[in-house]
Protein backbone atom coordinates (compact mmCIF):
# COMPACT_ATOMS: atom_id res chain seq x y z
CA UNK A 1 0.00 0.00 0.00
CA UNK A 2 1.29 3.45 -0.94
CA UNK A 3 0.93 5.52 2.22
CA UNK A 4 0.35 9.22 1.69
CA UNK A 5 0.54 10.07 5.38
CA UNK A 6 3.63 9.95 7.55
CA UNK A 7 3.29 7.71 10.60
CA UNK A 8 6.70 8.61 12.08
CA UNK A 9 6.46 10.27 15.50
CA UNK A 10 7.07 13.98 15.81
CA UNK A 11 8.05 16.08 18.79
CA UNK A 12 4.57 17.60 19.00
CA UNK A 13 1.38 15.69 18.10
CA UNK A 14 -0.34 18.89 17.01
CA UNK A 15 2.24 19.22 14.22
CA UNK A 16 1.50 15.61 13.30
CA UNK A 17 -2.22 16.44 13.13
CA UNK A 18 -1.55 19.56 11.05
CA UNK A 19 0.53 17.54 8.57
CA UNK A 20 -2.18 14.92 8.12
CA UNK A 21 -4.96 17.48 7.85
CA UNK A 22 -3.06 19.47 5.22
CA UNK A 23 -2.84 16.28 3.13
CA UNK A 24 -6.47 15.17 3.44
CA UNK A 25 -8.33 18.48 3.46
CA UNK A 26 -8.65 18.89 -0.30
CA UNK A 27 -9.57 15.24 -0.94
CA UNK A 28 -11.94 14.33 1.87
CA UNK A 29 -15.52 15.67 1.45
CA UNK A 30 -15.79 16.69 5.12
CA UNK A 31 -12.30 16.67 6.67
CA UNK A 32 -13.33 18.60 9.78
CA UNK A 33 -16.05 16.09 10.78
CA UNK A 34 -15.17 14.16 13.92
CA UNK A 35 -17.05 11.74 16.13
CA UNK A 36 -17.47 13.26 19.58
CA UNK A 37 -17.80 10.90 22.51
CA UNK A 38 -19.30 12.10 25.78
CA UNK A 39 -20.77 10.39 28.83
CA UNK A 40 -23.41 11.19 31.40
CA UNK A 41 -22.58 11.42 35.10
CA UNK A 42 -23.55 7.76 35.48
CA UNK A 43 -21.26 6.69 32.63
CA UNK A 44 -23.77 6.18 29.80
CA UNK A 45 -21.93 7.06 26.54
CA UNK A 46 -23.13 9.03 23.51
CA UNK A 47 -21.40 9.57 20.17
CA UNK A 48 -22.27 11.94 17.34
CA UNK A 49 -20.49 13.83 14.55
CA UNK A 50 -19.47 17.45 15.03
CA UNK A 51 -17.51 19.88 12.88
CA UNK A 52 -14.22 20.86 14.50
CA UNK A 53 -13.75 24.45 13.39
CA UNK A 54 -10.37 25.42 14.85
CA UNK A 55 -7.47 23.98 16.77
CA UNK A 56 -4.24 25.15 18.34
CA UNK A 57 -1.93 24.28 21.21
CA UNK A 58 -4.85 25.19 23.48
CA UNK A 59 -7.25 22.59 22.06
CA UNK A 60 -9.84 21.63 19.46
CA UNK A 61 -13.00 23.76 19.13
CA UNK A 62 -16.57 23.03 18.11
CA UNK A 63 -19.85 24.87 18.61
CA UNK A 64 -23.30 23.70 19.66
CA UNK A 65 -26.45 24.36 21.63
CA UNK A 66 -25.27 23.95 25.21
CA UNK A 67 -28.69 22.64 26.22
CA UNK A 68 -28.38 19.73 23.77
CA UNK A 69 -27.52 16.28 25.06
CA UNK A 70 -23.84 16.70 24.26
CA UNK A 71 -23.81 20.18 25.77
CA UNK A 72 -25.43 19.05 29.00
CA UNK A 73 -23.16 16.02 29.29
CA UNK A 74 -20.04 18.12 28.73
CA UNK A 75 -21.11 20.64 31.34
CA UNK A 76 -21.37 17.96 34.03
CA UNK A 77 -18.70 15.49 32.83
CA UNK A 78 -15.70 17.32 31.41
CA UNK A 79 -14.11 14.22 29.81
CA UNK A 80 -14.52 13.81 26.05
CA UNK A 81 -13.01 12.13 23.00
CA UNK A 82 -12.81 13.03 19.30
CA UNK A 83 -12.13 10.74 16.34
CA UNK A 84 -11.54 11.75 12.72
CA UNK A 85 -11.88 9.01 10.08
CA UNK A 86 -10.51 9.81 6.64
CA UNK A 87 -11.54 6.69 4.75
CA UNK A 88 -9.85 7.58 1.47
CA UNK A 89 -6.51 7.69 3.27
CA UNK A 90 -7.09 4.70 5.55
CA UNK A 91 -6.46 6.99 8.49
CA UNK A 92 -7.86 7.85 11.87
CA UNK A 93 -6.85 10.35 14.52
CA UNK A 94 -8.18 9.95 18.05
CA UNK A 95 -7.81 12.38 20.93
CA UNK A 96 -9.14 12.37 24.44
CA UNK A 97 -8.98 14.98 27.13
CA UNK A 98 -10.99 17.44 29.15
CA UNK A 99 -13.21 20.25 27.90
CA UNK A 100 -13.82 23.89 28.74
CA UNK A 101 -16.33 26.37 27.39
CA UNK A 102 -15.17 28.89 24.80
CA UNK A 103 -15.14 32.60 25.58
CA UNK A 104 -18.09 34.61 24.26
CA UNK A 105 -15.97 36.76 21.91
CA UNK A 106 -14.78 33.65 20.04
CA UNK A 107 -18.32 32.27 19.98
CA UNK A 108 -19.60 35.51 18.45
CA UNK A 109 -16.80 35.63 15.88
CA UNK A 110 -17.63 32.11 14.73
CA UNK A 111 -21.38 32.83 14.78
CA UNK A 112 -20.78 35.68 12.35
CA UNK A 113 -19.25 33.25 9.83
CA UNK A 114 -22.29 30.96 9.78
CA UNK A 115 -24.75 31.03 6.91
CA UNK A 116 -28.12 32.73 7.25
CA UNK A 117 -29.93 29.38 7.24
CA UNK A 118 -27.65 27.93 9.90
CA UNK A 119 -28.26 30.89 12.17
CA UNK A 120 -32.03 30.64 11.73
CA UNK A 121 -31.90 26.91 12.51
CA UNK A 122 -29.89 27.51 15.67
CA UNK A 123 -32.35 30.17 16.83
CA UNK A 124 -35.36 27.96 16.06
CA UNK A 125 -34.23 24.61 17.44
CA UNK A 126 -34.20 23.52 21.06
CA UNK A 127 -31.65 20.89 20.09
CA UNK A 128 -32.28 17.37 21.43
CA UNK A 129 -35.64 18.35 22.97
CA UNK A 130 -38.70 16.37 21.78
CA UNK A 131 -41.27 17.99 19.49
CA UNK A 132 -44.78 16.83 18.58
CA UNK A 133 -44.31 17.28 14.82
CA UNK A 134 -41.78 18.80 12.43
CA UNK A 135 -44.30 21.36 11.18
CA UNK A 136 -44.06 23.17 14.52
CA UNK A 137 -40.32 23.62 14.01
CA UNK A 138 -40.80 24.80 10.43
CA UNK A 139 -43.41 27.29 11.58
CA UNK A 140 -40.91 28.73 14.06
CA UNK A 141 -38.30 28.94 11.28
CA UNK A 142 -40.76 30.86 9.10
CA UNK A 143 -41.55 33.25 11.95
CA UNK A 144 -37.85 33.97 12.46
CA UNK A 145 -37.40 34.58 8.74
CA UNK A 146 -40.06 37.27 9.02
CA UNK A 147 -38.10 38.93 11.83
CA UNK A 148 -34.58 38.57 10.41
CA UNK A 149 -33.51 38.87 6.81
CA UNK A 150 -30.11 37.92 5.42
CA UNK A 151 -28.67 41.34 6.25
CA UNK A 152 -29.79 41.26 9.88
CA UNK A 153 -27.34 41.18 12.76
CA UNK A 154 -28.85 38.08 14.31
CA UNK A 155 -28.21 37.57 18.03
CA UNK A 156 -26.27 34.59 19.31
CA UNK A 157 -28.79 32.41 21.17
CA UNK A 158 -28.29 32.45 24.93
CA UNK A 159 -27.99 28.66 24.96
CA UNK A 160 -25.51 28.45 22.08
CA UNK A 161 -21.76 28.36 22.53
CA UNK A 162 -18.58 26.41 22.06
CA UNK A 163 -16.43 23.80 23.71
CA UNK A 164 -12.69 23.29 23.54
CA UNK A 165 -11.17 19.81 24.00
CA UNK A 166 -7.75 19.95 25.67
CA UNK A 167 -5.96 16.75 24.63
CA UNK A 168 -4.13 14.54 27.08
CA UNK A 169 -3.65 11.76 24.49
CA UNK A 170 -3.48 11.49 20.71
CA UNK A 171 -3.45 8.37 18.55
CA UNK A 172 -2.58 8.30 14.85
CA UNK A 173 -3.72 5.16 13.00
CA UNK A 174 -3.00 4.02 9.44
CA UNK A 175 -4.65 1.03 7.80
CA UNK A 176 -2.57 -1.96 6.69
CA UNK A 177 -4.21 -4.48 4.30
CA UNK A 178 -2.95 -7.38 6.45
CA UNK A 179 -4.38 -5.65 9.52
CA UNK A 180 -0.90 -4.88 10.83
CA UNK A 181 -2.06 -1.32 11.27
CA UNK A 182 0.36 1.47 12.16
CA UNK A 183 -0.43 3.13 15.48
CA UNK A 184 1.40 5.94 17.26
CA UNK A 185 0.18 7.23 20.60
CA UNK A 186 1.24 10.47 22.27
CA UNK A 187 0.65 11.01 25.98
CA UNK A 188 1.17 14.19 27.93
CA UNK A 189 3.45 13.32 30.82
CA UNK A 190 4.29 16.16 33.21
CA UNK A 191 3.70 18.73 30.48
CA UNK A 192 5.79 16.93 27.85
CA UNK A 193 4.61 14.77 24.94
CA UNK A 194 5.87 11.19 24.98
CA UNK A 195 5.25 8.96 21.95
CA UNK A 196 5.06 5.19 21.69
CA UNK A 197 4.24 2.61 19.02
CA UNK A 198 1.14 0.52 19.72
CA UNK A 199 0.53 -2.96 18.38
CA UNK A 200 -2.46 -3.29 16.05
The per-residue pLDDT for range 98-110, each reduced to its tens digit, is 999 999 999 999 9
- Using alpha carbons, list the distances in angstroms from residue 189 to 4, 156, 195: 30, 38, 10
Mean pLDDT within 59-75: 96
Alpha carbon dihedral 118, 119, 120, 121, in 10-degree steps, equals 50
Give the number of other CB atoms < 10 A from CB of residue 101. Answer: 15
Tell me the pLDDT of the chain averaged across its residues: 95
pLDDT of residue 2: 52
Mean pLDDT within 178-194: 96
pLDDT of residue 1: 45
pLDDT of residue 128: 87
Question: Does the pLDDT at position 44 exceed 80?
Answer: yes
What is 13-113+158-197's CATH number? 2.30.110.10
Calculate helix-pair angle for 134-147, 116-124, nearest 10 degrees.
Answer: 120
Backbone φ, ψ for residue 64 (5° rounding)? -165, 170
Amino acid sequence: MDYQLNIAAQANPLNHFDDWYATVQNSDPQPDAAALGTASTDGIPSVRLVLVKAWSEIGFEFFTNQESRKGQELLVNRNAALTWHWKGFGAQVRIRGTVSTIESSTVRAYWNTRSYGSKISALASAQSAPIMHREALLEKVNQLRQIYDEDSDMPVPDNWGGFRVHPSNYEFWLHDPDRLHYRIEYANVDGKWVSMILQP
